[in-house]
């Protein structure tokens, strides 16, 4: 460990254990009070208050509910740290004493359950903890820490909303953008990689048009249910028959909706699908194939008009800068015990984190922090049943508090101090 790191580590090594009970209480409170995308008023208010208490200059309402905190501490690099805040319309089934019982209205006016099924409550807690520790250690570093609490990651709109609201004009340009995500894996481990780390994600809605009729007279119809079924089957051939074995993609049909009664052939059918890819060329080919197949199946069925294909959300690839990733990884390996820092493969999950570095044209680094009980993970791995563990977005997804909480605070501090100037 170098002198700069030793000094800062000494400054907060005794403070962090004292802070952890407070952070645990904060986390359980956030978990019990989740908020959907662009509804994160309570969460944003808590983040803003905690940053002000730590000495940050705080601007709220950026991109809707986003919060930006600046901790200016003399000359030196500017390091941006990002945490997303939103939850999902999922009914929690963890059985935890602090489980969410919340419901709310979604953007369409429907009453839905709400749960932090992706772990963004942990992200918020991590960043508040790291910001507090960095503020307390100001005597050991110089530069600027920029803490960004982002709304609406789950809809892929939050990062861009903050950018569109003048994020790059109203705040200093960072030298590096850092982010992390809680993920299934042994709690206390950290994993990352240079290059692509999360996939591109594209969601589409397809509306197919037919001609309704009585179920006893199918000859009078153009059946959109059959049209939709043929379309779904054909879409699955994109990956199996149009991509090479060395190329990767996922095409998932998440919703297929048509009709209201068993003896009524409806006029329309609706398909909602999601695509994940790891290469921009593959992404373009898959999306083009979807358009071709959907239109061809409609034409083959004699549809009265072409289908409507509507984009729902889109996530770009998250790509870690090689040099910046090496710098952060080296800092992790110096700080954490051997075996806790691992190299991962690209994940098919998607993130809008990459928007910040891409728009600012600065390096960015994104990594994962494991959150699964080590014994539980080891048993599942030994039995070849890792896929049975509740993943992010599952109603039973529940990070173990320790060492997950402590590790995520440490990683942010360690990664930040690798960039800040020493005093």
Token pair, residue 150, equals 């982002």
Helix axes 15-32, 401-417, angle to 10 degrees: 120
Whether the Cβ atoms of residue 40 and residue 124 lie closer than 8 Å to each other: no
Cβ atoms of residues 148 and 76 within 8 Å: no
Contact 276, 350 (CB under 8 A): yes
- Tell me the C-alpha distance between 422 and 175, whole Å: 16
Pick the catalytic residue from 84, 92, 153, 410.
153
Residue of 86, 202, 268, 410 with catalytic role = 86
Question: Rounded to an integer, what distance in angstroms lies between the CA atom of residue 87 and that of residue 65?
Answer: 13
Tell me, yes or no, if 153 is annotated catalytic. yes
Q: Classify burial at 111, counting beta carbons within 10 Å of its beta carbon; exposed 0-12, middle 13-18, buried 19 or more.
A: exposed
- Long-range contact list for 293-296, CB < 8 A, 24+ apart? 293/231, 293/234, 293/235, 293/238, 294/206, 294/208, 294/231, 294/235
Q: Verify whether residue 86 is a known catalytic residue.
A: yes
Closest-CA residue to 130 (of 60, 50, 213): 50
Instruction: Give the residue carrying structure tokens 């940050």.
Output: 56
Of 184, 182, 287, 295, which Cα lies nearest the Cα of 243?
287
The full length of the chain comes to 423
Q: Per the omega criterion (within 30 degrees of 0), is the bond before 403 cis?
A: yes
- Note whether 161 and 152 are within 8 A (CB): yes
Task: Report d(CA 239, CA 104) in Å as an integer.
Answer: 37
Residues 322, 327, 333, 334, Cα dihedral to 10°: 170
Residues designated catalytic: 86, 153
């Amino acid at each position: 460990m170098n002198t700069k790191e030793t000094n800062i580590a000494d400054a907060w090594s005794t403070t962090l254990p004292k802070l952890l009970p407070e952070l645990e209480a904060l986390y359980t409170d956030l978990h019990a009070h989740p908020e959907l995308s662009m509804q994160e008023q309570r969460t944003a208010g808590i983040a803003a208050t905690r940053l002000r208490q730590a000495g940050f200059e705080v601007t709220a309402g950026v991109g809707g509910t986003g919060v930006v905190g600046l901790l200016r501490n003399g000359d030196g690099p500017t390091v941006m740290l990002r945490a997303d805040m939103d939850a999902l319309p999922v009914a929690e089934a963890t059985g935890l004493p602090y489980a969410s019982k919340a419901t709310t209205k979604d953007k369409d006016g429907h009453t839905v359950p709400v749960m932090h099924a992706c772990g963004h409550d942990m992200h918020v807690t991590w960043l508040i903890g790291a910001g507090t520790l960095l503020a307390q250690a100001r005597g050991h570093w110089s530069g600027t820490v920029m803490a960004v609490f982002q709304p609406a990651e789950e809809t892929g709109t939050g990062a861009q909303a903050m950018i569109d609201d003048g994020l790059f004009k109203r705040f200093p340009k960072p030298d590096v953008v850092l982010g992390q995500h809680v993920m299934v894996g042994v709690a206390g481990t950290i994993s990352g990689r240079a290059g692509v780390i999360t996939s591109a994600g594209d969601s589409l809605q397809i509306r197919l048009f037919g001609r309704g009729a009585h179920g006893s007279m199918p000859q009078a119809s153009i059946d959109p249910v059959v049209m939709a079924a043929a379309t779904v089957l054909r879409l699955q051939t994109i990956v199996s028959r149009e991509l090479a074995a060395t190329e990767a993609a996922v095409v998932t049909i998440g919703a297929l909706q048509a009709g209201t009664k068993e003896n009524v052939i409806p006029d329309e059918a609706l398909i909602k699908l999601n695509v994940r890819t790891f290469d921009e060329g593959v992404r373009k080919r898959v999306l083009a194939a979807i358009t071709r197949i959907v239109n061809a199946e409609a034409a083959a069925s004699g549809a009265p008009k072409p289908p409507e294909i509507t984009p729902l959300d889109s996530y770009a690839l998250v790509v870690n800068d090689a040099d910046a990733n090496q710098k952060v990884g080296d800092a992790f390996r110096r700080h954490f015990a051997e075996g806790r820092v691992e190299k991962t493969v690209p994940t098919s999950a998607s993130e809008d984190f990459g928007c910040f570095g891409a728009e600012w044209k600065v390096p960015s680094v994104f990594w994962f922090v494991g959150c699964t009980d080590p014994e539980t993970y080891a048993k599942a791995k030994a039995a070849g049943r890792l896929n049975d563990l509740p993943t992010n977005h599952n109603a039973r997804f529940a990070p173990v508090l320790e060492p997950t909480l402590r590790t995520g605070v440490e990683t942010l501090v360690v990664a930040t101090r690798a960039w800040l100037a020493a005093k």
